[in-house]
Amino acid sequence: MPSRPLRVAQAGNDATRLREFAGYAFAAPALLAQALTHRSAGSPHNERLEFLGDALVNQFVAEALYLHWPKADEGALTRARAELVRESALAGLARELKLGEHLVLGPGEMKTGGHRRDSILADALEALVAAIHLDSGFEACRAVVLPWFAPLIEALPPPNKVGKDAKTRLQEWLQARQRALPAYALVEEGGDDHARIFRASCTLAEPAVHTEGEGSSRRAAEQQAAEAALRIIEA
């Protein structure tokens, strides 16, 4: 995962002043500004870029998986790609890159914490990919984006286990070792009725692990917490 943060040409976090993201310097900073602008903030916004970025991300990930698993069949590759490009996975990458801190949102989305919502973060990440592609072309875009996914690809379970959700994989890991099943709890719930945000915890007795996750539903939050627990116990 790239460690370099978003850099700003001038003081402040105004998206119109951003010039560089994760080490990539934009020749046309307006593309970056558009990628970071949600439709609630007016035009030009990032919906069209999101459309293009979705196709690019799918292609980059498909190629990476094809090379990573030379003996995997089409079904395993398809399931793995779905895991990597799902909304929560892309939102997780966006959080790692601190993308939410620089989103431009309308007053309503600002009030309801839109910069933390999976759907908005995932869309913005795809829009960002498209902006890089339009700024410098396919090969340069792939060179920037593939390293974002590399840790996720390395962390995938074997091809025959891909597609099982995190809670199922965590349960199977514990049962195979005759250990107690995890306990999930709702930690926090907030936001408006149309944009609820949930935070849930996952607690293991052996090994002693406690993690939390966030999502647009309690189930999604529990899945994120389970995924975090899996990363710890499988490390």
Residue 126 known to be catalytic: yes
Tokens read off for 22:
């994760």
123 is in an annotated binding site: yes
Compute the chain's Rg from CA coordinates. 19
Bridge partners, 212 (sequence order): 201
How far apart (Å, rounded) are the C-alpha atoms in residues 133 and 106? 26
Q: What is the DSSP letter of 44?
A: S
Tokens read off for 54:
């979705």
73 is in an annotated binding site: no
How far apart (Å, rounded) are the C-alpha atoms in residues 62 and 218? 30
Q: Where are the alpha helices (DSSP H) in 155-202?
A: 166-176
Bridge partners, 37 (sequence order): 104
How far apart (Å, rounded) are the C-alpha atoms in residues 220 and 198? 8
Residue 227 known to be catalytic: no
Q: Which of 83, 109, 118, 126 is catalytic?
A: 126
CB 21 within 8 A of CB 102: no
How does DSSP assign 89-155, residue by residue?
HHHHHHHHTTGGGG-B--HHHHHTTGGG-HHHHHHHHHHHHHHHHHHH-HHHHHHHHHHHHHHHHHT
How far apart (Å, rounded) are the C-alpha atoms in residues 19 and 165? 38
The binding site comprises 50, 123, 126
The binding site for Mg(2+) comprises 50, 123, 126
Q: Which residues are catalytic?
A: 54, 126
